[in-house]
Amino acid sequence: MPERGIFLSSEQGMGKTLLSIRSHLNGLTKTEQKVAHFILDHAQDVIYHSVTELAERADVGETTVLRFCRKLKFQGFQDFKLSLAQDLVKPSDRLYNEVTEEDDASTLNRKVISMHIGALEQTSELVNSEQLEQAIALLHQADNINFFGVGSSGLTALQAAHSFSRIGKRSQAKTDTHFQAMAASLMRPGDVAVGISISGSTKDTIETLSLAKKAGAKIIVITSNARSPITKLADIVLLMVARENPLQGSSFSAKISQLVIVDILNVGVTLKIKEEALKFREVTAKAISDKLY
């Protein structure tokens, strides 16, 4: 019997439409989830089904299928099928393989890096360009930026605050949830709070963002779950791909996806304040130059 892979590959090679279904699963009703799971398991066949055929095979009503399509922002079933078909005919650029216990170091190197590259490519597919433009504009105009996250996402928040501080934007991130709550309550209109949560269901982060929103701040969230509780607070949602199974703990792929979105936002703001950003980069670099040999 072949060794079972450590990394699950159910999302590998997925196109934008199937990834969108994955990211919306938790926010669907039970009958809509039946449609979603059927499509995920039989995508190649679904593009040839009528709405009636899909409803019968998924054991739901036609209205459930249509409601499912609208929740994914499609005009109807035909619009959804066209998007799905376009995904399925795209050739795979890279073959992703599971890691097994028999892999040597060279094979691990190739497979793990390919997995991370795949996560980034899928994140690129998921991020909505309009939402990204709006997020960059908000951060550009922000008086103050607070990044909020706990656990692994808290580390991303710290890196984000550091990156934006380097280009002259007043930014902060705190690791203690009590200090996060106090910082959020002191935010004002013109400030931006960025919530980072892979699941989108982290209570501490959601409660902190609620305080920031009540204080008048605009809310940007970075999450892998499009219909999670955190998105209900958001003015802007930026989706990223997170591959994680029980053996992984804090997923490095998710971490890399988070950091890349932060970097895109940082570069976008930098381009809007190019000369000012360069000046602040020089000032901050000079401030620590004496600390290097």
pLDDT in tens, 156-195: 999 999 999 999 999 999 999 999 999 999 999 999 999 9
pLDDT band at 90 (very low <50, low <70, confident <90, very high): low
Record the pTM.
0.72
- pLDDT at 97 (0 to 100): 54
Q: What is the mean pLDDT of the chain?
A: 86
- pLDDT at 7 (0 to 100): 37
Whether the pLDDT of residue 96 is over 60: the answer is: no
All structural domains of the chain, each given as residue ranges with its CATH number in brackets, are 1-126 (1.10.10.10), 129-289 (3.40.50.10490)
pLDDT in tens, 64-85: 999 999 999 898 888 898 888 8
- For 195, list phi and psi in degrees, rounded to 5: -95, 130
